[in-house]
Structure 1
Amino acid sequence: MVLRSGLVQIDYTLFFQIINTIILYFLLRRFLFKPVTEFMASRQNAIVASMKEAEAKNAEADQLRLEYQKKLEGAHEEGRKIIKDASKRAEERAGEIIAQAQEEASKIKDRAAIEIERERQKAANQMKEEVAALAVLAAGKIIDKSLDENSHDKLIKEFIDEVGETTWWN
């Protein structure tokens, strides 16, 4: 039985063609479609896993960035604290240096006062020696001369003038 109508002939070749097509479909499905579908599914799963991993790494990177930012802020704060402590130590040291300088100046002033007192005492002793020498000189003049009352008064007045002037300077 052969029917002919245009391009398609209905005969036993059509039957074999349909069977061949079905067999080809099952073979392609088994050896091509299934592996391709599995490959596409595994590729899709790999992409999804890669995206999840990327999101996890982004979250981890954000976490690390926050931690580093906190550490950086801590470092800035520690730097400010170190600078503040150094300034405080410098001020304390400056205070110590000023106190030492004032103490040294006080010691120098005290030594100068002691030295001035020694010099004043030395000058006073020297003046006493000079007064004593003048007294001896005056006594010697009195003994050497025979004195009348007027010359005696004159010598005493001269002696008092000399001694009084020296005492006044003391």
Structure 2
Amino acid sequence: MDIEKSTLIMNWVNFGIIILIMKYFFWDKLKGIIAERQNYVDAKLSKADEDSEKARMYLLKNESILQSAKEEGKKITERQKQKGDKVYEEIIDDAKNEAISLKERAKLEIEREKEKAEYEIKKQAVYLAVELSIKALEQKIDEDTHRKLIGDFIAKVGM
């Protein structure tokens, strides 16, 4: 391979001229395109950083809202539990009061029945006393015997 020096030098000179022509006509455009691309990449990176920061802020805000909602839920649950306990206590108190009331009414009913029974017994005692008196008058007994019969009758009846 014989390469002539003159051809080699001419190739280098032509290459240098092409580079100078390219630099003169296209270098600024190429630098502009590279700068534009660099600005585009920087803008995208900046936007990505901003979006990342916004996402982080939204995440923190959402976590705060979620925590607040959980706390509010706990408060609501506690209030409802307290209301339930209060209703439970009211029901228990009402049941106790109703039981006391029923007991009192039962006592009154028993007392009335007792008085009614005593009245009936007294009524029967009077009736029997009258019957005894009628029998005593029919037999023509003396006053001492009559008193003795009534006293015995009253002792038996328990008046």
Q: TM-score band, normalised by the shorter chain?
A: 0.7 to 0.9
Aligned-CA RMSD value? 2.5
Structure 2 unaligned regions, length at least 5: none
Bigger CA drift: 22-31 or 132-141? 22-31
User: Who is 2:51 aligned against?
Assistant: 57
Equivalent residue letter for 2:98: E
Shift of 1:39: 1.2
User: Who is 1:159 aligned against?
Assistant: 153
What are the within-5 Å matches in structure 2 for residues 25-36 of structure 1?
25-36=19-30
Equivalent residue letter for 1:37: K
User: Who is 1:77 aligned against?
Assistant: 71
In structure 2, C-alpha distance between the alignment counterparts of 1:128 and 1:157, rounded to whole Å? 15
In structure 2, C-alpha distance between the alignment counterparts of 1:44 and 1:70, rounded to whole Å? 38
In structure 2, C-alpha distance between the alignment counterparts of 1:149 and 1:116, rounded to whole Å? 41
In structure 1, C-alpha distance between the alignment counterparts of 2:114 and 2:24, rounded to whole Å? 130
- Does 1:137 find its partner at 2:131? yes
In structure 1, C-alpha distance between the alignment counterparts of 2:97 and 2:144, rounded to whole Å? 62
| Alignment coverage as a number of residue pairs | 153
User: Who is 2:5 aligned against?
Assistant: 7
Change (3 A) 1:149 1:30: same
**TM-score, normalised to structure 2's length?**
0.81
- Does 1:98 find its partner at 2:92? yes
Shift of 1:105: 1.9
User: Who is 2:61 aligned against?
Assistant: 67
Equivalent residue letter for 1:8: S
Residue 104 of structure 1 aligns to a residue whose secondary structure is helix
In structure 2, C-alpha distance between the alignment counterparts of 1:153 and 1:119, rounded to whole Å? 32
**TM-score, normalised to structure 1's length?**
0.77
Residue 93 of structure 2 aligns to a residue whose secondary structure is helix
In structure 2, C-alpha distance between the alignment counterparts of 1:114 and 1:31, rounded to whole Å? 122
Q: Which has the higher contact order (CA 8 A, sep 6+)?
A: 2
Shift of 1:52: 1.3
Percent of aligned pairs with the same amino acid: 32
Structure 1 unaligned regions, length at least 5: 1-5
Bigger CA drift: 119-128 or 106-115? 106-115
